[in-house]
A and B are shown apart, each in its own frame.
Chain A
């Protein structure tokens, strides 16, 4: 399957600042990537679908102005958490679909907002 690299693996930021998370598909051209959020002891919840060269599609209840997604190339999607607050502290993880080949997940980013 594809190799997906996600950075950073963890980040601590101050409340009110912004944090950018990168998801790179190293050996697969990804026109679509998915961003998930996982709170402690909970499931993975889809936040948005990142579309190469066009706007992201957000799930109901996810603020598009707070979680900015950019997918400017076939290998890179970024998620920026703007004006982060403690309640945004979570595990963020990207996923690259490979059609019939299933899905490959990034290694995840642990965000802590203090």
Chain B
């Protein structure tokens, strides 16, 4: 099945700086790569996603890049703000049954 690795596990940045989180996946048949933000005790919230026919997608301060050949994708947050502090998860859908497999998560702390 699909295996998703996420790095780093924790990330501390100064307000205004950029944050980058990287993920790799194993199943070359994966086509859908979402990124979620999760606050304590809450459901994951989709912040951006990308499909395999696109190499890059941007939404205001958030961007995602995908390299299908290398099987990795990254989340970029620019001009970070304290409210960006949360746990972020990447995921991939894999080949069978559209099951989402999640990365291990990155705890982001934006210091004022």
B25 at the A interface (CB under 8 A): no
What B residues does A43 contact at CB under 8 A?
Answer: 89, 102-105
Closest to B44 in A: A105
B43 at the A interface (CB under 8 A): yes
Number of interface residues of B (CB under 8 A): 18
What B residues does A49 contact at CB under 8 A?
Answer: 97, 99
Q: Which of A44, A102, A110 contacts B49 (CB 8 A)?
A: A102
A32 at the B interface (CB under 8 A): yes
A45 CB, min distance to chain B CBs, angstroms: 8
State whether B49 touches A93 (Cβ < 8 A): no
Q: Which of B41, B44, B97, B98 contacts A44 (CB 8 A)?
A: B44
Binding site for B on A (CB under 8 A): 32, 34, 42-46, 49, 57, 91, 93, 95, 97, 102-103, 105-108, 110
